Amino acid sequence: MERLDVTILGKDYPLACEPSEKEALLTAATMVDRAMQRIKAGGKVAGTERIAVMAALQLAAELMNANSPDSRLAVGDYKRKIEDMHRMVDAALGAQEKLF
């Protein structure tokens, strides 16, 4: 195993990976960081945890769409799906905050 340090949204994370996986892990960390930076810059989502969840949802949606046999989803449909996921995450996190 090899130690690898990545920075995501200004915070350093030490990771361990096989040397053969290093390049893919660096690419993945860059994708996550960029997604989180875009969401943060948008100013509509507050808090690192919410930003991370939204980035994860966006990246997962992109992956699912790319692997879909019918990957011709219209941009407007894609944006609506992300907005729907955003509302669901906000509702779930809001409900969780009320418990504490």
Residue 36 makes CB contacts below 8 A (sequence gap 6+) with: 8, 9, 51, 52, 55
Q: What is the rounded CA–CA span in Å between residue 58 and residue 81?
A: 9
pLDDT of residue 3: 92
**Nearest Cα to 48, choosing from 16, 56, 88?**
56
CA distances from 48 to 8, 18, 66 (A): 11, 28, 27
pLDDT surpassing 60 at residue 100: no
Range of the domain at 77: 2-99
- Tell me the two tokens of residue 51: 């930003």
pLDDT of residue 32: 93
Name the residue with higher pLDDT: 8 or 85: 8
- Tell me the two tokens of residue 29: 């960390």
Number of domains within the chain: 1
Residues 21-65 have pLDDT tens digits of 999 999 999 999 999 999 999 988 889 999 999 999 999 888 887
